[in-house]
Structure 1
């Protein structure tokens, strides 16, 4: 299953990059404040860390883009909940993220809102310890990326948004408040 998913992502990415319906190509680099949160917990916890991601932006129309991505997220627990009370619960992730998303955006100069949805794989180590779940897993697992945000600037080349990766098998989601910059590629 793992090898099939990786091969499928590589084939789709390589074939789409040369497709005739692609109007423009660019690279988007994002960096941000990462978080991981368990699906079920007694305490309100959100473990924090670092997020970075790169995307190949394949513009089909002014309002829709295909975005194969590769990224990294690392979060760790400080032993406290959101109210600064001690807790034994945690949701930690150290993983590489691979996959593809579709972005639908309002083609407006200066401020263009967007929405993204896709499918991908997380490769790394995942720990979810709560009163309801005791999960410690290493390896590859699927995730569902979801994002909302704004593209800013005259050419919409600055990206400010919230990006999340729902990981059902480890009962947590990871995400980030991220800032990105898009660089056009010459054809």
Structure 2
């Protein structure tokens, strides 16, 4: 119960921080939608993983040409890959949280880095010869992404996105393609 309280406090802090930032933005705002191929794998170095589907929506607050804030909501569904019924690494979760993106201001192809914090609501299993963890409910995750914004207005993106779940000693990752849709101009 204590972990849930601390995760709840962190999530409330993120939401309030994003809300305060909204009033200070002067640049354009966009909605980014991404879909891709997802995997889940344990922290230990065993060759047991899961694969499946990843989808995510982000509301983008451009603070500068090269930095923005992104509250997000996503879905991660991975299933065991092997015929081995003893071992598996799976995740079936709704993801919510916030992250920041730093982008190199380069025309047409701009590399970026994202980092944040969030909560995963769902079911996770990490069962390997070295790890045996299975949890349901709300877990903290740390999102991390590397990618490229593409196009003259950087409205397409290709990314490698990872969500680290320390409580179940696994990470979920995806290779995803996204599109940004303008919502409001300053």
Q: What TM-score does the superposition give when structure 2 sets the normalisation length?
A: 0.90
**Does the alignment pair 1:28 with 2:39?**
no
Q: CA deviation at 1:149?
A: 0.7
1:60 corresponds in structure 2 to 63
Q: CA deviation at 1:10?
A: 3.1
Equivalent residues of 1:41, 1:89 under 8 A apart: no
Which of the numbers 106, 109, 117 marks the counterpart of 2:107? 109
Equivalent residues of 2:75, 2:94 under 8 A apart: yes
Equivalent residues of 1:41, 1:131 under 8 A apart: no
Equivalent residues of 1:38, 1:90 under 8 A apart: no
Equivalent residues of 1:103, 1:117 under 8 A apart: yes
Equivalent residues of 1:79, 1:88 under 8 A apart: no
* 1:87-102 paired onto structure 2 within 5 Å: 88-102=86-100
How many Å separate the matches in 2 of 1:98 and 1:22? 25
1:83 corresponds in structure 2 to none
How many Å separate the matches in 1 of 2:26 and 2:119? 24
How many Å separate the matches in 1 of 2:110 and 2:89? 33
Q: Which 10-residue stretch deviates more, 4-13 or 156-165? A: 4-13
Which of the numbers 6, 16, 19 marks the counterpart of 1:14? 19
Which of the numbers 76, 79, 92 marks the counterpart of 2:79? 76
1:133 corresponds in structure 2 to 131
Size of the aligned set, in residue pairs, is: 180
2:116 corresponds in structure 1 to 118
2:41 corresponds in structure 1 to 37
How many Å separate the matches in 1 of 2:176 and 2:86? 28
Q: What TM-score does the superposition give when structure 1 sets the normalisation length?
A: 0.90
Q: CA deviation at 1:50?
A: 0.5
Instruction: Please list the CA deviations of residues 44-97 of structure 1 after superposition, one character each: whole Å capped at 9, or x if unmatched.
Output: 1221001000001111111111111111100000325xxxxx573211000111
Q: CA deviation at 1:170?
A: 0.4
Q: CA deviation at 1:22?
A: 4.0
Instruction: Please list the CA deviations of residues 24-59 of structure 1 after superposition, one character each: whole Å capped at 9, or x if unmatched.
Output: 2111000010110001143x1221001000001111
